[in-house]
Structures are given as C-alpha cells and as structure tokens.
A and B are shown apart, each in its own frame.
Chain A
Amino acid sequence: MPDEALLDVKAIDAFYGDFQALFSVSISVRTGQVVAVIGANGAGKSTLLKSIAGLMHPHSGEILFDGKPTAGLPAFDMLGRGVALVPEGRRLFPSLTVEENLLIGGQMRRPGPWTLARVYELFPALAERRNLPAPALSGGQQQMAAIGRALMANPRLLLCDEISLGLAPVVVRDIYTQLPRIVAEGLSLIIVEQDIVQALRAANHVYCLQEGRVALHGPAGGLTRETISAAYFGA
C-alpha cells in the first residue's frame, strides 16, 4: 500500500471523568509527514497527543502505530515503539542538569541518528550550558532542551505540544527553522499549535479541532484563511 500510515487514530473518544474531551477523532500521519493540529483552547489538542503518547487511554476507538494496535500500552512502552512527546510547558526535570535531562531521554537506547553530539549540533546554545541545572535556562533554551530530550529517544514520531507557548516570536522562529532538519532524519511530526501561521508554514497537512471534533482537515497549502477561521471559531 503506498499510503500506509505510520499512525492511524481511528474514531477515538476520550474522557476526563464524566467530561468528554474527544468525540470520534480520526487522524493519520505518514512517514516523513509534518501534521499540524490546530484549535482554540480546550479543543482537545493536548488530549489527542496524550492519548497517542499513552498517557491517557481512549474510551473507544483505536490507535494503530506502525499497523499495530496500542490499546492499553503505558507511556514508557509507547516510547519504546518510537513515539516521543515534547510536553506542553516543556517540563524539564528541574533537579537534573541539561545534559542529564538529555540522557534521561536517551536511556531507552533505541538505535538511531540522535546522540548527545547531534543534539548539541542542532542546538548549540545547549552545548555551552550542558552542566547548568535545567531551570537556569531561558524559556527558548528550555524548549530546545525539551525537544532534544525527546529526540534522544530516537523516535519515529515526535509529538510537539505548544512549542511556541510563552516564547518570544524570534525564539519561536529559531526553533521552527530547525524542524526541517529533524524531519530530514526520517521522523514524522505532529505539532499542536495555537499559532496558526507558524503551524501552517511548517506542516504538510492540517487538522483543525473544535470542541473535541475534527472540524476541518486538508493539505496545508489547500486551505484558505477563511475556511480555517470558520473551523477554528465555529462560525
């Protein structure tokens, strides 16, 4: 099959207690693809990522990774299969140094191109600060460390949750210019963003979530501003 998907999310419903956060959401990602998931606050973007990463388990529906079902697998097993998440708010380990944070990401020892040296080459700012405690970094550097930490696991699918959140636009641009280099290593990417312009520029394919449902999806180049804002705000 030519369009065999690396990740196939099939009609999942997800709940927080009685609150339903996702309603029959389906998305699919092919190898080498960059997929953007956009939507307003509370649209279910982070819930979708957590479900894919194994931090939450969907109530119904099915998630296939590399053709195999992932039902019930905990997060550390999903990482073993090649799904890494850059969590919202970066969430570096504060009592570890920058380098120790990266090493924790790499402790699964999945084979692949990413090593400490490669991460430092991608983000030279981290190399100079490798022995500092993680909280001593600026927000942008922390985001680089969080991305580097996930890359150290040599994932096949990298999930990025709101990497632009709380960062200066110039820093966001710096980080986004490195994404093509990451994809060039054969990864697929899902980026969750509120910054639509940034997301559309980086992605091949866009899904727009609205109140837990896929309101719109299509190739990034083929969507107009009007259709997106209609799907985004539910106008």
Chain B
Amino acid sequence: MQWFNVILQGVLIGGLYAMFAAGLSLIFGVMRLVNIAHGDLIVLAAYISLMVVQSLDVDPLTSLVFVVPAMAAIGYLLQRGLLNRTLGDDLLPPLLVTFGLSIIIQNGLLELFTADSRRLQAGPIEVETFQLAPGVWIGALPLIQFAVAVAVIAGLQGLFYRTALGRAFRATSDDQPVAQLMGLDTRHVFAMAMALSLAVIAIAGVFLAVRTNFDPAIGPARLIFGFEAVIIGGLGSMWGTLAGGIILGVAQAVGAQVDPGWQLLAGHLVFLAILAVRPQGLFPKVSG
C-alpha cells in the first residue's frame, strides 16, 4: 500500500510537469522555437501571483484571474516585439535570445524580490486530505492540480483540432510561406501561440508556488522537467505530453522512496532510457 501511495503522488505531480511541458511543446510545434526562458517565465508567473495575493488579499487560485491574462499579454508582446525578429532559417538566434532572456528574468527577480524563498499560502485546502481506499490518502490540492492539468491538456487538444485558431497553428507549423499566402499573418499567429503558452505557464507557476518554496533561481530546473516530459511523451500529441509528465513524476516519486537523494536522478535516468530506446518519444506525431 505504501508503494501505491508513492505512485499515486507521482502521478499527481506529473500533472504539474505536463503543464510545464505543454507550453514548451506548443511553441516548438508551431514555430520551431526552443524557449530557454520557459522555466524562468514559470517563476515570473509565481512572483506575479505573489504580488497579486499580497496587494489584493486574495488566495493564490483566485489570483489566476489576473495572472493568466497578464502572462498571456506578456507572451503576445514578447513574441511581437522580440522573438519574431529572431525566427528564420537559423535555429541559433532564438536559442541565444531566450537564453539571454532567462538571465535577465532571473536577475530582475533577484533585484526586486531578493533571493529569499517564498511560498504562496492557499489556506486550509493545503492540508485537506481524504481517504480514497483503506490506507490510500489523497490531498485535495494535488488532486485539484491534477484535474486542472488534465483540463488544460484537453483544452489545448480541443483548441488545436477543433478551432480556427488551432487550424491556423497547424497550417503555419506545416508551411509558413503558404500560410501567408492563405491570408495568415504569421507574426500574429506566433504571438497568439506564445500568449497561449504563457497562459498555461501562469497556471503551472501558481500551482508550483503553492506546492513548494520558490526563489528566482529555480526556473532552469523546471525547464528541464518540462523538456524531459515533452521528449518522453513525443512531440505532436498533447496527451503524450501528459503521459510524459506522469512518467517523469512517478519515476521521481519512486526514486525518492528508495533514497531521498535519488529523486531527480531517477527522473533523469528514465528520461535517458526512453531517449535511448525510443528517441521519437512514446506518442510521436503520426505523419500522414
């Protein structure tokens, strides 16, 4: 029963990793941009939530009403004003620019908020648990977090395959010049994709900040988790990304159970094993 609990915890944290990964995978899929600042943007969302919580005296989950639109707006402007200029045949400029952005965000947050660890307090819901089966306890907050992650993934999947915006994303991803010929302003399509990515980041950032302590330097590790979940799941399917997040979460939980020092190592090992055996990931994009 103890192992069952461990695996269950891993699955639930996997939802958070899937949210880290979804925005990353979306951006790479639509415009072949690897956003090195992704993790730092997650931390930025956590700090924006902290400011909203402190100044308006609301709980962290309510702060999402402000944080999501704010991050989406930042994403749109960032893409329109900066990242669109780096896109081209060469993959290096966007890598370098987002790497620089990562450093700027980390140091900006350090300047504004110091290196102190922060935490968002969600109140009594944080410790609420209920018994699923004899001996199996589940926390309300991790369960909410997982349910939100599944909803976010389902929402993204629906948006991709059932809406005009999703159609525009896929068309632009397939063939940029022809997308332009069909009347799509690719600069706007890319900016919408980045806005969507950062809206997902906002949700992930707030849940992260409720779950653990955060400080300006933890971004890059979140980028790695997101990246690993994307690669495990395989590019091209949002449900694959969720599966990737869950596999990573379970690997970490099991590793930590064996020896607390093995938590991160176990995750990386599973990632490496899947990369070696199935480099295209578990659910790669099916090419018609």
Listed in ascending order, the chain A residues whose CB lies under 8 Å from chain B are 53, 55, 74-76, 79-80, 84-85, 87, 91, 93-96, 100, 103-105, 107-108, 133-136, 149, 153
> Which of B168, B180, B285: most chain A CB closer than 10 A?
B180
How far does the alpha carbon of A55 sit from the alpha carbon of B181 in the complex, in Å?
8
| Contacting residue for B181 out of A87, A95, A100, A135, CB 8 A | A87
- A55 pairs with B177, CB closer than 8 A: yes
- B170 pairs with A95, CB closer than 8 A: yes
User: B133 interface residue, CB < 8 Å from A?
Assistant: no
- B170 pairs with A93, CB closer than 8 A: yes
Listed in ascending order, the chain B residues whose CB lies under 8 Å from chain A are 164, 167-168, 170-171, 173-175, 177-185, 285, 287-288
Q: Which residues of A contact B170 (CB under 8 A)?
A: 93, 95-96, 100
How far does the alpha carbon of A53 sit from the alpha carbon of B180 in the complex, in Å?
10
How far does the alpha carbon of A153 sit from the alpha carbon of B183 in the complex, in Å?
8
**Nearest-Cβ distance from residue A46 to partner chain B, whole angstroms:** 12
- B180 pairs with A74, CB closer than 8 A: yes
Using known A-B contacts A104-B168, A133-B288, A135-B288, determine if residue A91 contacts B178 with beta carbons closer than 8 Å. yes
How far does the alpha carbon of A81 sit from the alpha carbon of B183 in the complex, in Å?
10
| Contacting residue for B183 out of A76, A93, A100, A136, CB 8 A | A76
- B177 pairs with A100, CB closer than 8 A: no
Residue of A at shortest CB range from B173?
A95
Question: Total contacts A to B, CB within 8 angstroms?
Answer: 71
- A136 pairs with B180, CB closer than 8 A: no
How far does the alpha carbon of A75 sit from the alpha carbon of B183 in the complex, in Å?
7
Chain B interface mostly helix, strand, loop or mixed? helix
How far does the alpha carbon of A212 sit from the alpha carbon of B179 in the complex, in Å?
27
- B167 pairs with A153, CB closer than 8 A: no
How far does the alpha carbon of A144 sit from the alpha carbon of B173 in the complex, in Å?
22
> Which of A76, A91, A96, A108: most chain B CB closer than 10 A?
A76
- B181 pairs with A107, CB closer than 8 A: no
Using known A-B contacts A108-B183, A134-B288, determine if residue A87 contacts B178 with beta carbons closer than 8 Å. yes
| Contacting residue for B182 out of A94, A133, A153, CB 8 A | A153
Q: Which residues of A contact B174 (CB under 8 A)?
A: 93-96
Residue of B at shortest CB range from A83?
B181
How far does the alpha carbon of A135 sit from the alpha carbon of B174 in the complex, in Å?
12
- A79 pairs with B175, CB closer than 8 A: no
**Nearest-Cβ distance from residue B152 to partner chain A, whole angstroms:** 22
- B181 pairs with A79, CB closer than 8 A: yes
**Nearest-Cβ distance from residue B280 to partner chain A, whole angstroms:** 16
Using known A-B contacts A103-B167, A104-B168, A107-B164, determine if residue A94 contacts B288 with beta carbons closer than 8 Å. yes
How far does the alpha carbon of A36 sit from the alpha carbon of B167 in the complex, in Å?
33
Q: Which residues of B contact A149 (CB under 8 A)?
A: 182
How far does the alpha carbon of A75 sit from the alpha carbon of B288 in the complex, in Å?
28
**Nearest-Cβ distance from residue A230 to partner chain B, whole angstroms:** 34
Q: Which residues of B contact A100 (CB under 8 A)?
A: 167, 170-171
- B288 pairs with A107, CB closer than 8 A: no
Q: Which residues of A contact B285 (CB under 8 A)?
A: 95
**Nearest-Cβ distance from residue A52 to partner chain B, whole angstroms:** 11
Residue of A at shortest CB range from B186?
A76
Using known A-B contacts A100-B167, A107-B168, A133-B288, determine if residue A93 contacts B175 with beta carbons closer than 8 Å. yes
Q: Which residues of A contact B175 (CB under 8 A)?
A: 91, 93
Q: Which residues of B contact A75 (CB under 8 A)?
A: 177, 180-181
How far does the alpha carbon of A153 sit from the alpha carbon of B170 in the complex, in Å?
19
How far does the alpha carbon of A149 sit from the alpha carbon of B168 in the complex, in Å?
14
Q: A-B pairs with the 5 shortest C-beta distances?
A: A133-B288, A108-B183, A75-B180, A79-B183, A93-B174
How far does the alpha carbon of A53 sit from the alpha carbon of B181 in the complex, in Å?
7
Q: Which residues of B contact A55 (CB under 8 A)?
A: 177, 180-181
Q: Which residues of B contact A108 (CB under 8 A)?
A: 182-183
How far does the alpha carbon of A96 sit from the alpha carbon of B169 in the complex, in Å?
11
- A104 pairs with B180, CB closer than 8 A: no
- B171 pairs with A85, CB closer than 8 A: no
Q: Which residues of B contact A80 (CB under 8 A)?
A: 183
**Nearest-Cβ distance from residue A109 to partner chain B, whole angstroms:** 9
Q: Which residues of A contact B183 (CB under 8 A)?
A: 76, 79-80, 105, 107-108, 153
